[in-house]
Structure 1
Amino acid sequence: MQLDIVVPFFNEAETAAEFAAMAARLAAQARARFGLEATFILVDDGSTDGGAACFARHMSGNWTLVTLSRNFGKEAATLAGLDASRGDYVLLMDADLQHTADIALDMIGRLLADGELDMVYAALADGKGRRGPARWLARAFYRVVNMGQRYRLPENAGDFRVMTRRAAEALRQVRDRKRFNKGLYAWIGFRQERLDYVPAGRHAGDSKWPRWRLVAFSLEGITSFTVVPLRVVSLLGITVAVLGFFYGIKIVVEVLTSGIDVPGYPSLMVAVLVLGGLNLALLGLVGEYVWAAVSEAKSRPIYIVKSVAGPGAAAADPRQPTSAGERQ
């Protein structure tokens, strides 16, 4: 049985040596404990620090290095790794060493122990690492995305997970251009199990996910998986219109019955500012959905492969035709 370990990375040259050592231990233990032959599929997502050369120099055993033509983002790089995968099981993990071999082996053991399981995913224990407003915003995001859905997006779960071949094939069939993998993992269904964990500290370098990028990524998730914001704004608009209608009746009644002067500039400015702000917010929200639709309609490739190297390059090339006859 073969285990493909997909590792997308961007500018992680400083971790290459340590990751290669951890990868060797992970491969040895996967073979000894579960009888799985591990193959590493490294996806260089347009690194500019020479990371591809560093990984190629330090990796041992059976590995493949897929180099993309530029930085397409982690979601696309993960898909490139899945397209190159041919194994019976697929493990997704990062190259920054925050995803440890011990947790990976624990997930593999849980998956193999239950024949009904198709995926085991790691999730941050109690949202560790998020405090104050960040934690509340994260909870609000998951509530919005999960509202009214037939599936549930688990909180604090990322890409660190192991899956069967059929789950990996299901993910490969979804060719969204604006990808939000957290939602896709839940959308494909299958029986999945959660494993809480505490990520290890980064070995070197900084996170490639600053807060502004996380906000933009969350917005992509919302526009890809829920229409709730549009409905909320629509209901808010209806509410404002109804209140305005009754306020207008109140003014007419007061003028006819008691001769009170109609309020002038202040009330007019409040109405203009409130309605103008609502219209601009709705216009921006609709624009996000339109942009997502336009991106899908263009049908551009999700990623472009520059080169494939390594001992397993011939057997794991995402540029080869897929099972459905599709060519990247």
Structure 2
Amino acid sequence: MRIEKVKAQLEKQKLDGIIITDKINWRYLTGFTGSNGWLVITENSTKLFVDGRYTEQASLQTNNIEVIEASSWSDIGSVLGSIVKNKRIGFEQQTISYEKFLLLNQLMRTNLSELIPTMNLVETLRMIKSESEIVALRKAAAIADKTLTDILPLLSAGMTEIDVANEIDYRSKKNGSEGPAFETIVASGTRTALPHGHASQKIIKDNELIMIDFGTIYKGYYSDITRTMAFGSVDQKIKTIYVKLLAAQEKAIANLQLNQPLAEIDQLVRKELASSDLDAFFSHDLGHGIGLSCHEFPAIAKTEKMTLQKNMTFTIEPGVYLPNQFGIRIEDDILINENGKAEVLTKFPKNWSIIQ
């Protein structure tokens, strides 16, 4: 079914075929989870080129796909040349390496073919989740929630940020995650002002903020959650800004509706923050798609024209970062369900919290 949807897109874009080089995209389309390969889809055939490490794996993981063992570019080129001859073939401009592009471009010229860049052709299909994908995303979110529940009682002054990050990674695997979704972020004190302040050897102290941003993976599907909490007593200014940021996030979620341009969601939050002169300290997009990768198409950004559709999943994660002072981010994973309503998948509490 997914391959057929790609073929329909090829027809719309007047392409005779496409070469898929993004490993997440070929996993989505075929089930193959290997790290090296070429997936070639035309109107009449679907061929997956893999090296000898993956021949058996690819055969086991795929159905109705011709698996071709190819240990070198010459092996691929000898088969691919006849497939692309005198045709318009798309390629994924965002993920192909320059080295592969040069090889492919030369092959196309030799075979009097035209190489056409494509943008988000498969990613647009991935954007709308199936029932089984949603089940996996719910589970990934539940693992993240449980991990946060497990980790908070373990926190104490004197631990380093890396100590906490390691505990999160360990506990999330114990709870069923296939691994960290990305390098776990733990930042404390003034380091919370760094939007992606990766865990360091800084010692966590009493009476400062701590920001935790991590994700889990279940059956290949990701969660992504951020919570910012006080580690003891902190300045009232921090709580005041936290409450305003949380109100903006919750308003954005409450106002989500079908066919709403994603740019409007981002702009709503910025308008809310502007009422408290905080918008200048919100330095990134409001969110991103989430699924087989942690950051996927589309972005919830002020220039994104894509609209909300049923079974889309994405994050809403506004942040305020005051340089050399502190930063706050609150992030949840959202599903637009079959009824067109917004459902928050990550359920760990996000009211102002003080860890004693």
- Interval of TM-score (by shorter of Structure 1 and Structure 2): under 0.3
Higher strand share: 2
TM-score calculated relative to the size of structure 1 = 0.24
Question: Highest relative contact order (Cα 8 Å, sep 6+), 1 or 2?
Answer: 1
Higher helix share: 1
Structure possessing the higher radius of gyration over alpha carbons: 1
TM-score calculated relative to the size of structure 2 = 0.23
